[in-house]
Structure 1
Amino acid sequence: MAPIGLLRRGLVAVVAASGLFALGVPAALGDEGGDGGGGVAYVNMGDSYSAASGVLPPAPAAPPQCLQSARNWGHVLAARWDYELTDVSCGAAETRHFTEPQYPGVAPQVEALSADTDVVTMTIGGNDSGVFIGTIQACATAAALTAGTGNPCEQQNGDRFTDTISDVTYPSLVDALETVKAAAPNARVAIAGYLQILPAERGCYPVMPVASGDVPYINGIQATLNDAVRRAAEATDVTYVDVTEASQGHDACQPIGTRWVEPAIGSTNPVVVHPNALGEEAMADRAVAELG
């Protein structure tokens, strides 16, 4: 096994490249991924969780920097329902990238929407203010200094991540959802929370480089983020796709075939701490349950 310092630096590098808790980079407008034909105009938006960054194969029509997969939940849903898919999800996207270009040549995501859009899905918010990448980097660094014991990350950072979610991320989510609804006034809009990354109590250091006592701390930050997504959906009359309960027992500490999120060490995907194909299927299942 590599020294902990190397593991931590490797995780930070991958996280920085992918936007970590991010969720995807926009595909070219009009990408139907071979899933269209039903006459229902469907747009999948958002970050790396929505794009399924790291899940092979990549979506052929998507910008390569978006790390969008042909097996993300948008493609799964389009195939199930025979919807005409336009997938503009893009890894590392923030709420501001709904109205601003994320990369040169990649249009703002809302430009995929119109009065003719029937259904919209997304995950978004985890990358805003660098909250989740900041959490993982801070906690990985802290855990390396204590060999995975205690709760050094919580002691060092306290409420700063949850405060940012409440004070900055939540209003940005409301603004983003209002923008989506204005751009697609006739669409059914749904936003999903984020799959559970860690077990309820004990972690799996160093597979996930989080100190044992910081597992509840990170779970609390994730719960705050998902609650911000839920409240923003409620405030804007958008459907919230709750994945928290369904993903219990499928966290990154579980074995292959059980886990829905890949760990930092021993991942089967090149983008770590992100959903695998099973996770994307599970997100699609929850969307079906919520959307009917």
Structure 2
Amino acid sequence: MMRRITSVVAATLFAAAIGIGAAGPATAKVTPPTANPHAIKTSPYVALGDSYSSAAGEAPFVATAPPTCSRSTLNYAHDIAAWTKPSSFTDVTCSGAKTSDFFSSQAPGVAPQLDAVTKHTRLVTMTIGGNDENVFVDSFFGCATISSSDIMGNPCEQKYGTTFTDEITTQTYPHLVAALTAVRQKAPVATVVILGYPHILPPVGELSCYPSMPIAMGDVPWLDHEENVLNAAVQRAAQRTGARYIDMSSSSVGHDACEPAGTRWIEPAVGPINAFPVHPNATGEAAMATQTLRQLHR
């Protein structure tokens, strides 16, 4: 049974990685109870970033976007634009994007993301960094394929040790600084915003969650720590470059992929609903938009 689950996960995650996913019905959005759209200048607004920014796998999709980007009309940038009503809104978010894709083409027909940013831009939002050094794919996705060897143990941690957190600290962090610096240089008067990633997993392993998130019990806190290290690197890079960091850690507690549909903000590896595996659903995207507006207006 566990071997079958692992095989299903590997196939599903591979499909997500190459940009193929089945879409189900859209999840209802959440409207923020308090959001002052006049607290910051929001136009022209440019949305950059990776699959957490594009809302990968969430139908409906932006008809004019390259298919490889899996750019949804339910992503948090579209929510922010709907609430703040900028006169100009450009969304170049793209699934699989790395910080290097700010500077060069990610795929045929996909321009460097920085091309969308100009000196007139007044608001820029993004999530970025999780794909750098392939940390996200190799850890969260990779661990799902080896955990059946020791469900109660920590086979992934034993295999990789501090490899991923070391890469985040020594490589991803300077890449983030370079990307944010480049955004600032192109848009010197913009409010540049970078979001942290919401919690994907609970702080400790839960056997009841294993069928949908097949991560060994001992690897769950190890992966949660890795995500905390990544978010800390994102926050440091924001502070260093004068960008605004949006903390998703506190608000996303209790909304991880192990929670039931309707409560979770992140879809699980097995049986995701209208989102790529281990990615935010529409409710999660709306929550990211809500936190962005709330924290910017403090």
Tell me, yes or no, whether TM beats 0.5: yes
Write the letter of the residue equivalent to 1:153: C
| More contact order relative to length (CA 8 Å, sep ≥ 6) | 2
- Deviation for aligned residue 1:18: 4.5
Alpha-carbon distance in structure 1 between the residues aligned to 2:149 and 2:15: 20
1:8 corresponding residue in structure 2: 9
How is 1:202-213 mapped onto 2 (pairs within 5 angstroms)? 202-203=205-206, 204-213=209-218
Give unmatched runs, 5+ long, in structure 1.
Answer: 20-37
Deviations 1:229-257 (A, max 9, x none): 00000000100000011000000000111
1:157 corresponding residue in structure 2: 160
Alpha-carbon distance in structure 2 between the residues aligned to 1:5 and 1:81: 43
Alpha-carbon distance in structure 2 between the residues aligned to 1:112 and 1:246: 30
Write the letter of the residue equivalent to 2:8: L
Distance 1:131 1:240, change over 3 A: same
2:73 corresponding residue in structure 1: 70
Alpha-carbon distance in structure 1 between the residues aligned to 2:71 and 2:238: 24
Write the letter of the residue equivalent to 1:274: H
Matched, 1:236 2:236: no
Superposition RMSD in Å:
1.8
1:35 corresponding residue in structure 2: none
Write the letter of the residue equivalent to 1:135: S
Alpha-carbon distance in structure 1 between the residues aligned to 2:260 and 2:62: 27
Alpha-carbon distance in structure 1 between the residues aligned to 2:218 and 2:171: 27
1:278 corresponding residue in structure 2: 283
Alpha-carbon distance in structure 1 between the residues aligned to 2:140 and 2:256: 15
- Give the ranges of 4+ consecutive aligned residues of structure 1 lying more than 3 Å apart after TM superposition: none
Give me the TM-score of the superposition, normalised by structure 1. 0.90
- Deviation for aligned residue 1:8: 3.5
Give unmatched runs, 5+ long, in structure 2.
Answer: 21-40
1:30 corresponding residue in structure 2: none
Write the letter of the residue equivalent to 1:6: S
2:25 corresponding residue in structure 1: none
How is 1:250-269 mapped onto 2 (pairs within 5 angstroms)? 250-269=255-274
Are 1:15 and 1:133, in contact at CA under 8 Å, matched by a contact in 2?
Answer: no
Question: May I ask how many residue pairs the two structures share in their alignment?
Answer: 274
Percent identity, please.
47
Alpha-carbon distance in structure 1 between the residues aligned to 2:200 and 2:133: 20
Deviations 1:145-194 (A, max 9, x none): 22x22111111110000000000000000000000000111111000011
